[in-house]
């Protein structure tokens, strides 16, 4: 039986369409810079938000009905109804991937063995559903932040027993990711951080996190996981200080502990902005370090200071992000909508309209990025900006063929520095507007 009987397959109808249940910009087969839109943009559904979150916040209970016809929530009947709803949802939108935490899939029991048996049963059910479709897992992860045992962290815990539970969850989540054909495996260190140094040994905790990641890599490779491991940086929330603050911090950590060959970044827009960066900044830092893996596509609110996980709507941000992605040649991961409807958007139509908004926003971002690249003026400006390094003393600096004394001698001979050249930010911003809105 259909879970969303009022919703038909969502089709591309073009920018003039006023049908809320149609794509205006995302046209899966349209070729942009030599590649189909759907190949540039492997979209994924986040199991937790789309099938789990029903509007509960710190001040009020659910506003949306996400029982999907099951007689009670928190049952295996409900877990299976979520699978049915999720697959119907993805098929109707043309989404080919999903992302999950272990405990998004089934109700968690006090006894981890019971939970694991439920996970086996449910993933068998998912595998059945996958047959005859091209839907697969983008990435899996273990939720090591909700259960009270992780109150002092998972890899960073003070308790060796808790550390074993974290290991057990990672082991199982890796097995499930492999079973469901996952491209990646994510570590989001939700509780890997601290509130006060008065009770924390930072070095000890970071070493333990790294060791757990090494064990995960060893086990993953042993059971045939060939994909990438990802760190998803986030500076704060729930912890005051999180160790994976931003891409630069996480990359430094991976290199320090010899994990950089197996790990890449999963960059979430709203996490980058919480760290005081733009989304595109963390994408750039990842890509210049060869670690741009996957993306959690959402956006925050500049007025609110927390992770609001909104569906992406900001076309400038999506354009800047897609410029990074296109210049990196695409990503091996995907675009996971780690986003939820606003609490009063509580209908089934709202669920679909949110994904349509997100997919259209990234399609616009992709088309704008292509236009900016084809226009060429911005790349041309950047090339010219650094042109003094193409010859003479500049070329020797790049070739690492100079001493500090030689460089100083050049300056002393010139006596006064001439204008180093305009940064021309306003000219470049005007080009972006012209490319975006000009005919
Ligand atoms: C939390 C967050 C997580 C990760 C996966 O802010 O983004 O949902 O994406 O654990
Ligand atoms: Co996320």
How far separated are the first and last CA of the chain, in Å rounded?
47
d(CA 214, CA 262): 9
The response to whether residue 268 sits with its C-beta less than 6 Å from ligand 1 reads yes
Positions marked active-site = 101, 104
- Alpha-carbon separation of residue 240 from 274, 275, 413 (angstroms): 12, 12, 52
Output the pLDDT for position 42.
98
Residues near 289 by beta carbon (within 8 Å), at least 6 away in sequence = 247, 251
**Residue pointed to by tokens 């926003």:** 361
234 lines ligand 1 (CB under 6 A): yes
**What are phi and psi for residue 348, nearest 5 degrees?**
-60, -40
Q: How far is Cα 3 from Cα 85, in angstroms, rounded to an integer?
A: 6
Q: Contact 106/79 with Cβ under 8 angstroms?
A: yes
In ligand 1, the atom with minimum distance to the C-alpha of 237 is 6
CA distances from 2 to 49, 66, 76, 83, 134 (A): 20, 14, 18, 12, 19
Neighbours of 127 (CB within 10 A): 12
Ligand 1 within 6 A of CB of 192: no
User: H-helix or E-strand containing 380?
Assistant: helix 377-385
Say if CB 354 and CB 312 are below 8 A apart.
no
Among 53, 190, 238, 305, residue to substitute to test ligand 1 (most atoms within 8 Å of Cβ) = 190
Q: Which of 337, 216, 319 is nearest to 270 (CA)?
A: 337
* Residue 65 to residue 6: CA distance in whole angstroms: 15
The answer, yes or no, to whether any atom of ligand 1 lies below 6 A from the CB of 108, is: no
**What tokens appear for 381 in the block?**
């400006």
Closest to 190 in 3D by CA, of 265, 271, 263, 257: 271
80 Cβ contact partners less than 8 Å away, ≥ 6 residues apart: 70, 122, 125
Distance CA 235, CA 24 (A): 35
Distances (CA, A) of 299 to 193, 253, 289: 23, 26, 24
- What does the alpha-carbon distance between residue 119 and residue 174 come to, in Å, rounded to a whole number? 12
DSSP 312: P
Residue 237 has a pLDDT of 97
pLDDT tens digit at each of 439 positions of the chain: 899 999 999 999 999 999 999 999 999 999 999 999 999 999 999 999 999 999 999 999 999 999 999 999 999 999 999 999 999 999 999 999 999 999 999 999 999 999 999 999 999 999 999 999 999 999 999 999 999 999 999 999 999 999 999 999 999 999 999 999 999 999 999 999 999 999 999 999 999 999 999 999 999 999 999 999 999 999 999 999 999 999 999 999 999 999 999 999 999 999 999 999 999 999 999 999 999 999 999 999 999 999 999 999 999 999 999 999 999 999 999 999 999 999 999 999 999 999 999 999 999 999 999 999 999 999 999 999 999 999 999 999 999 999 999 999 999 999 999 889 999 999 999 999 999 999 7
Q: Which atom of ligand 1 is nearest to the CA of 307?
A: 6
Distance in Å, CA 104 to ligand 2 centroid:
14
Closest CA to 335 of 123, 96, 104, 142: 96
The preferred substitution site among 51, 104, 141, 182 for testing ligand 1, maximizing ligand atoms within 8 Å of CB, is: 141
Neighbours of 206 (CB within 10 A): 17
Dihedral sign for Cα 236, 240, 244, 247, please.
positive
Q: Which atom of ligand 1 lies at the shortest distance from residue 48's CA? A: 8
pTM exceeding 0.75: yes
- The answer to whether the CB of 141 is under 6 A from ligand 1 is yes
Contact between 187 and 145 under an 8 Å Cβ cutoff? The reply is: no
């Amino acid at each position: 039986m259909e879970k969303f009987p009022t919703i038909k397959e969502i089709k591309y109808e073009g920018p003039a369409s006023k049908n809320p249940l149609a794509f205006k910009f995302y046209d899966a087969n349209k070729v942009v810079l030599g590649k189909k839109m759907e190949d540039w943009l492997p979209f994924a559904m986040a199991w937790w938000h789309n099938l789990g979150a029903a509007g509960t916040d710190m001040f009020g209970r659910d506003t949306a009905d996400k029982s999907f016809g099951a007689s009670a929530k928190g049952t295996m009947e409900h877990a299976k109804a979520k699978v049915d709803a999720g697959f119907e949802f993805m098929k109707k939108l043309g989404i080919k991937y999903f992302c999950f935490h272990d405990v998004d899939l089934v109700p968690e029991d006090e006894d981890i063995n019971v939970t694991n048996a439920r996970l086996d049963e449910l993933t068998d059910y998912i595998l059945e559903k996958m047959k005859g479709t091209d839907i697969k897992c983008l990435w899996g992860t273990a939720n090591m932040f909700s259960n009270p045992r992780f109150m002092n962290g998972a890899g960073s815990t003070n308790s060796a027993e808790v550390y074993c539970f974290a290991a057990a969850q990672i082991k199982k989540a890796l097995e499930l990711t492999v079973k469901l054909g996952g491209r990646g495996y994510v570590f989001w260190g939700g509780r890997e951080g601290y509130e006060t140094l008065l009770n924390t040994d930072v070095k000890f905790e970071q070493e333990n996190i790294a060791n757990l990641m090494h064990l995960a890599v060893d086990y993953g490779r042993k059971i045939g996981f060939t994909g990438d491991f990802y760190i998803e940086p986030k500076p704060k929330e729930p912890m005051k200080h999180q160790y994976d603050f931003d891409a630069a911090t996480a990359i430094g950590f991976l290199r320090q502990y010899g994990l950089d060959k197996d790990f890449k970044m999963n960059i979430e827009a709203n996490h980058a902005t919480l760290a005081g960066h733009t989304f595109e900044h963390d994408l750039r830092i990842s890509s210049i370090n060869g670690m741009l893996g996957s993306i959690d596509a959402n956006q925050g609110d500049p007025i609110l200071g927390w992770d609001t996980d909104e569906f992406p709507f900001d076309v400038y941000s999506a354009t800047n992000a897609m410029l990074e992605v296109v210049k990196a040649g695409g990503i091996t991961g995907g675009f996971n909508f780690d986003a939820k409807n606003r609490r009063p958007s509580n209908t089934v139509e709202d669920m679909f309209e949110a994904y349509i908004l997100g997919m259209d926003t990234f399609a616009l971002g992709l088309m704008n990025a292509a236009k900016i690249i084809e226009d060429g003026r911005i790349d041309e400006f950047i090339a010219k900006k650094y042109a003094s390094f193409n010859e003479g003393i500049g070329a020797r600096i790049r070739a690492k063929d100079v001493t500090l004394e030689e460089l100083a001698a050049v300056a002393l001979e010139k006596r006064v520095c001439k204008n180093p050249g305009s940064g021309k930010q306003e000219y470049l911003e005007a080009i972006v507007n012209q490319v975006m809105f000009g005919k």
